[in-house]
Structure 1
Amino acid sequence: MRFADITLGDVAGVIAALAFAYLVFRIGRVVGKAGEILEEARVGVKGLSDGAVPLLGEVTSTVTATNEQLVRVDTITTNVATMSSNVNALTSLFAATLGSPVVKVAAFSYGVRSALRGRAERENRRTRAGRRH
């Protein structure tokens, strides 16, 4: 085949073949870039999962330790509530047992002091009245 024997259809076929080859080349590059991006994403996800597994283990142990501390705090709170109830009962018992007698003793001692003070005042008045005459 000589150059002179090439028809317009042959030229169109060569152009179409070159365009198809160029298109295949461009699509190949796009697919290659997409493959690189997917590989980077795979490496990133693997790194995240490799780092997340120990982190989840640490979180689990932290939550377990926190739950143990909460159980201890709950026990302490229960003991404090029991102790508070016991103190309240003891205070009520003390008030019921000693409250009334203490009030009676205080009233009696006040009465005795008032009587002694009144007697002393009467004696002072008599003494002063005797000095005036």
Structure 2
Amino acid sequence: MGAGEIAGLIAAGAFLMLVVVLAVPILKLRHTVDAATQAINDLNDRTGPLLGGVTETVQNVNVVLGQTQVSLDGLNVQLAKIDTMTEHAQNVTANVANLTTVVSAAAANPLVKVASFGYGLRKAAAARRNAEDERDVRATLKQRRKAARAAGK
């Protein structure tokens, strides 16, 4: 057995390993394709009756419209009135939005100042209390040291 034959056996083994490694994803892909095919078949089964119902509904609407006479002039007048009312409502909404912006801007500035002042006042009071407590603690420690020195003499 020569070197070429050994190389051929190694290449054949490598190709066999490649086929085995690629067989697993291909089999999984087959299951995915089967599931997709089943979903499409289910969709086709459901779409047929649905389209039949839509066709029947459209036919019924055509029959009803054929039997009913609609006054287009009256409809146009009503649509014009509705369009005017919608336009007025849009203007009122815009005005309310502008008014809300102005009021919030006018009220927000003083409120922020009052809130800031209150916060600063609380911080200053807390700092003063802490300073008084610290002063009392220092005075007590100073008296203890003096008493300890006097007792030690």
How far 1:79 moved relative to its partner? Answer: 0.8
| 1:1-133 equivalent positions in 2, closer than 5 A | 19-93=71-145, 96=148
Q: Distance in 1 between matches of 2:79 and 2:123?
A: 63
The sequence identity of aligned pairs, in percent, is 4
Residue 68 of structure 1 and its aligned partner are, at CA, apart by: 2.5
Task: Check 1:41–1:98 CA distance in 2 against 1; reply closer, same or farther (3 A cut).
Answer: same
Instruction: State the AA in 2 paired with 1:85.
Output: V
Residue 30 of structure 1 aligns to which amino acid in structure 2? I
Report the TM-score when normalising by structure 1: 0.51
How far apart are 1:58 and its partner, in Å? 0.7
| Unaligned runs of at least 5 residues, structure 2 | 1-68
Distance verdict in 2 for CA 1:21–1:89, change over 3 Å:
same
Q: 1:97 to 1:37 in 2, by over 3 A?
A: same
Give structure 1 stretches of 5+ with no counterpart.
1-14, 101-133
Over the aligned positions, Cα root-mean-square deviation in angstroms equals 2.8
What are the Cα deviations for residues 19-58 of structure 1, in whole angstroms up to 9, with x where unaligned? 1121111111112112222222222221111111111111
Moved over 3 A (4+): 93-100
The amino acid of 1:34's aligned partner reads T
Per-residue Cα deviation, 1:75-113 (whole angstroms, up to 9, x for no partner): 20331221121133144336545679xxxxxxxxxxxxx
